[in-house]
A and B are shown apart, each in its own frame.
Chain A
Amino acid sequence: MPESIGEGKTVEAATEAALMDLGCKKEEAEIEVLQEAVKGIFGRTKAARVKVIYNRTNENAEGLKKEDKTEISERISRENMHEASIQGQNIVTKILTLMGIENVKIKAKEEESTITLDIQCEPEGLLIGRQGQTLSSLQYLVNRVIHNTVNKQIRYIVDVGGYKIRHKTILEKMANRIAQKVSDSKEEEQLKAMSAYDRRIIHVCVKDNPEVTTYSLGEGNFRRVVIAPKDKAVPSEQ
């Protein structure tokens, strides 16, 4: 622990000198008076001597430190997000270039724990693939590659020209239409087989509808959502 001994005409002056030497505040230090100033005969004086020890465990000092730390870690995480976003963009660009797709522009959006990378390129269809299969493969590989190099709790969402948003609105429209149909006819209806991500969109979309309920049927690639009327669904599940 750093310490310093200060000298001065009075105790205060000595303390100040020692604090200056350490470069810390009075609250952050322990002060020990070694020698009070003594007035001798014939105007000869003995200087006051004070020992100042910089004290980290001091309450005030600790409070200050903690605040600094949280501020710093917040700033770092924001910087990290930005860094991670650039890393993601680099990897996507690299993969696309190797696939022979040029003139790629990427719009990145940083959120709390996810980074959305929206790719703008020609032709879009090639990257989306049938039912978005190529796109989800790309997203999966980007996440795998990044998580192999750096261990971070960040998820990347890869999109091409806003495809996922378009796709979501289409699914929601369909879900609402079929939910209406089911609540009118009181007969349950099976949707086509969909990916987990797409099924979730349907479940979430229909969740607030008081007339119908949803569940999934089937295994693996054949798993599909069923929209059923609420009053009928209970006996059929038993």
Chain B
Amino acid sequence: MKQLIEYLAKSLVEHPEQVQVTVQKNNDNLVLELKVANEDLGRIIGQKGQTVKAIRQLLTAAATKTKTKVSLIVQE
């Protein structure tokens, strides 16, 4: 999961070296926090949140396979 987010985020931004993903575990819930450079925020979120929505969709699909719950937070 973490690698998936890292790969997608790094391929979407202009400053891949500033991409950081941290993982927290709340019971069965996996919480991923994504941190990117300020000027890259727009690239991650996309028009009307389209990009982050697509990332979450893929994340949910991947989580269904392992029967876990995952949520993604994009830090400002």
A interface residues (Cβ-Cβ under 8 A, vs B): 91, 94-95, 98-101, 126-127, 129, 133-134, 136-138, 140-141, 144-145, 148-149
Contacts and interface: CB of A to CB of B under 8 A. Distances in A.
Interface of B (DSSP majority class): helix
A141 B46 CA distance: 11
Contact of A127 (B7, B50, B55, B61): B61
Contacts of B37: none
Contacts of B13: 148
Interface of B: 3-4, 7-8, 11-13, 43, 46, 50-51, 53-55, 57-58, 60-62, 64-66
A126 B7 contact: no
B8 A95 contact: yes
Most buried by B among A91, A98, A101: A98
B12 A134 contact: no
Contacts of B54: 136-138, 140-141
B65 A101 contact: yes
Contacts, number: 57
Contacts of B64: 126
A149 B43 CA distance: 13
A141 B65 contact: no
B8 A134 contact: no
Most buried by A among B4, B11, B65, B66: B11
Given A129-B57, A141-B58, A144-B51, A95 B65 contact: no
A99 B58 contact: yes
Contacts of A94: 7
B65 A148 contact: no
Given A100-B65, A134-B61, 5 more contacts: A98-B7, A133-B57, A141-B8, A145-B8, A148-B11
B19 to A, nearest CB: 13
Nearest to B55: A141
Given A101-B65, A126-B65, A144-B51, A95 B58 contact: yes
28 contacts: A91-B11, A95-B58, A98-B7, A98-B62, A99-B62, A99-B65, A100-B62, A100-B65, A126-B61, A126-B64, A126-B65, A127-B61, A129-B61, A134-B61, A136-B54, A137-B55, A137-B57, A138-B58, A140-B50, A140-B51, A140-B54, A141-B54, A141-B58, A144-B12, A145-B12, A148-B12, A148-B43, A149-B11
Contacts of A148: 11-13, 43
B57 A95 contact: no
